[in-house]
Structure 1
Amino acid sequence: MKTITQVAVLAVLGGLGAGWHYYGEQFGLKPPLELLGLQGAGPQGGGRGGGSSGPVGVIVQAVRVAPVVERVESVGTVRAREAVTITSKVAGIVERIGFTEGERVEAGSTLVQLDAAALRAELDQARALLDDARNQLDRARRLQPGATIAAQRLETLEALSRQAEGRVRQAEARLEELRVNAPFAGRVGLRQVSPGALIQPGTPITTLDDTARVRVEFSIPEVYLARIHAGSGVTARSAAYGARRFEGQVAVIDTRIDPATRSVRVISEFDNADEALRPGLFLTIELVLEEREHALLVAEEAIDPVGDRAYVFVVRDGRARRQEVKLGLRLPGEVEIREGLNAGEPVVVRGIQRLRNDVPVRVTETLTRPTS
């Protein structure tokens, strides 16, 4: 029975000690051994603060200043800045193909010429009628000063001349429709028609993409909406290009948030002089949320978390001062401190398990670089 009683007392003391470690220091409570009048008892009478054993030996590192970039990651697909499927407005037989698959063409270049023999003959006839109408009108106008000609006859000749001009313009427009031109400069895709083929209006001939500058569309969670704007930096990478990184900028942010995914669509633009980014290419996107040139960083092992709060031990006047801090971005082996510390302050990175607030310490080593 005596043994059971002793075990029970030890368990209670252990529970009190654990509870004080997490909550007692926040409110200035005394350690449980002091409350029971047992402080200093036994060979470890100094407890977690060192006590009669003297200052606690610790390793420190100064709070360092370095630039950090906060990013959010997403995925997107490359799209050409301008893209179109080339088709014909009218039916006709392909007379000539004016492009090579995959080549770059200029705006206005003739891509396909349809058979125009019948329309050329019609245009020649319209021009001949126009010449005849103009000649008759000129003769009538020259006779008018010295000879009498009915005003109605002159008006009729003028009307015939205008009609002939209209027929010429109509034939020229129809002839132009038989020539399929590039609407903008870009690179043509695969050819889908052959010379001699009869095509109908809307029949795909090829594709045309302007890829000198491309667009990448992606989505980000709505919680980041207030932190992005047109001009924000975007970095993209693709498995097809290994370690290569492509740099772009946010061009447009959608005015609406998707209620199903709680995300917002973002369109970014990338210069693509070498046309490495092809339409349809899958990319991993990193969007820059904020760049801080003078961020404060400490080693990750210096952080002493308690619930939803975080603390560090700062060495001031030979004592470990427990300081609450606000954390920011997490980096490999380091954590950004947004509030609570100043640059250059010595922070305990090893030995915090033996510390409590205001305990005397002895610095055994000062690290000069990140511990990771």
Structure 2
Amino acid sequence: MKTVTQVAVLAVLGAAGAGWHYYGEQVGLPPPMELIGLRSNTSQAATGGGGGAAGPVSVIVQPVRVGQVVDRVESVGTVRAREAVTITTKVAGIVEAIRFSEGQRVEAGATLVQLDAAALRAELDQARALLDDARSQLQRGRQLQAGATIAAQRLETLEALARQAEGRVRQAEARLEELRVTAPFSGRVGLRQVSPGALIQPGTVITTLDDTAKVRVEFSVPEVHLARIRVGSSVTARSSAYEGRRFQGTVAVIDTRIDPATRSVRVISEFDNADEALRPGLFLTVEMVLEERERALLVAEEAIDPVGDRAYVYVVRDGRARRQEVRLGLRLPGEVEIRQGVNAGEPVVVRGVQRLRNDLPVRVTESVSRPTS
């Protein structure tokens, strides 16, 4: 029965100690052991009774420094050509000549494939001859009209015949042009899919054409970052194919919709690609800058005293450790950004935090300018 009573007392003391750690220390209440008169003389000597015989606690401090903080999000993306098309033909015909080499860079309007046009050329020549004849008759008719030796109706007929001949010529020229397959924009052609002499049908794939002087990289970002995504934000990409190389680009387009399955938004960035190292389909790891803060407040990571979902630091003021709640920002290697709670240059304790409590006298033995770990 005595043992049960002792256990109960210890449990009560433990609960009281935890409550003091969360709340009592903030308002300067003494520990629960002192309240019930059970604090030992040894404990009083260790803490100095708030600055007694044992003296202040020795600590190492670091001033809150001002530095640049860059908030990034990482994703994976795929390279796409700025412009990409599959080259086909609109009409049936026999391949007369192939005027490109695989992998060649071509200019807009350049002839890629010429289909056999012998029959159409003959048709065009005939149409042009008919047009010349119609124009000659019309011209003679107009000259005779001045002498009233030709009826007005006959003149109208000659004009109609001339217009019909012009239409046949334009039609033959258009059909002849369809037999010449051209590049719709400047770019680099891919592998050839046809051979000279082959009979091809409308829609037959001839090759591909990609404009890779500037490429697009598509990736997705979680919707929680949507408010901080901006067109023009910096994007850095890297690939296992190019060890150590980083490609720089910017955000060009942000999708207007959120993917309901992944709860993410699609982002398209553009990269200059003068050496064409980035090829369509290449897999990239992408980092996008969400926010940059030039004058962020930073403290050493070991200065943070976490309690539940809160965080505290000890600021040395007037020779005493003042326990200050802070709001944390980004975590950097060895440092943590403080968004609220301290000011630039204030000395915070980075060594000896575990021995401190609010308003305890301290003695600064060293002040460091950078994280101590």
Aligned to 2:44: 45
Find the aligned partners of 2:348 and 2:330 in 1 and give their Cα distance: 18
| Paired residues of 2:60 and 2:352 also in contact (CA < 8 A) | yes
Alignment of 1:220-369 (within 5 A): 220-369=221-370
Please report the TM-score for the alignment, with normalisation by the length of structure 2. 0.95
| Deviation (angstroms), 1:215 | 1.1
Aligned to 1:35: 35
Find the aligned partners of 2:158 and 2:6 in 1 and give their Cα distance: 129
Find the aligned partners of 1:242 and 1:18 in 2 and give their Cα distance: 52
Aligned to 1:144: 145
| Deviation (angstroms), 1:50 | 6.3
Please report the TM-score for the alignment, with normalisation by the length of structure 1. 0.95
The SS at the match of 1:149 is: coil
The SS at the match of 2:43 is: coil
| Deviation (angstroms), 1:173 | 0.3
Aligned to 2:110: 109
Find the aligned partners of 2:220 and 2:357 in 1 and give their Cα distance: 46
| Deviation (angstroms), 1:221 | 1.3
Find the aligned partners of 2:318 and 2:27 in 1 and give their Cα distance: 22
Q: Give the stretch that moved more between structures: 215-224 or 165-174.
A: 215-224
Aligned to 2:159: 158
Aligned to 2:94: 93
Amino acid at match of 1:311: Y
| Deviation (angstroms), 1:24 | 2.6
| Deviation (angstroms), 1:75 | 1.1
| Paired residues of 2:145 and 2:151 also in contact (CA < 8 A) | no
Aligned-pair Cα RMSD in Å: 1.8
| Deviation (angstroms), 1:11 | 6.0
| Deviation (angstroms), 1:8 | 6.5
Find the aligned partners of 1:34 and 1:219 in 2 and give their Cα distance: 58
Find the aligned partners of 2:149 and 2:162 in 1 and give their Cα distance: 21
| Paired residues of 2:297 and 2:344 also in contact (CA < 8 A) | yes
Aligned to 1:20: 20
| Paired residues of 2:301 and 2:371 also in contact (CA < 8 A) | no
Find the aligned partners of 2:160 and 2:208 in 1 and give their Cα distance: 45
Q: Map Cα deviations across residues 146-191 of structure 1 (whole Å, 9 max, x no partner).
A: 3510111111111111111111110000000000000000111111
Aligned to 1:70: 71
| Deviation (angstroms), 1:28 | 3.5
| Deviation (angstroms), 1:78 | 0.8
Aligned to 2:59: 58
Aligned to 2:199: 198
Aligned to 1:79: 80
Amino acid at match of 1:166: G
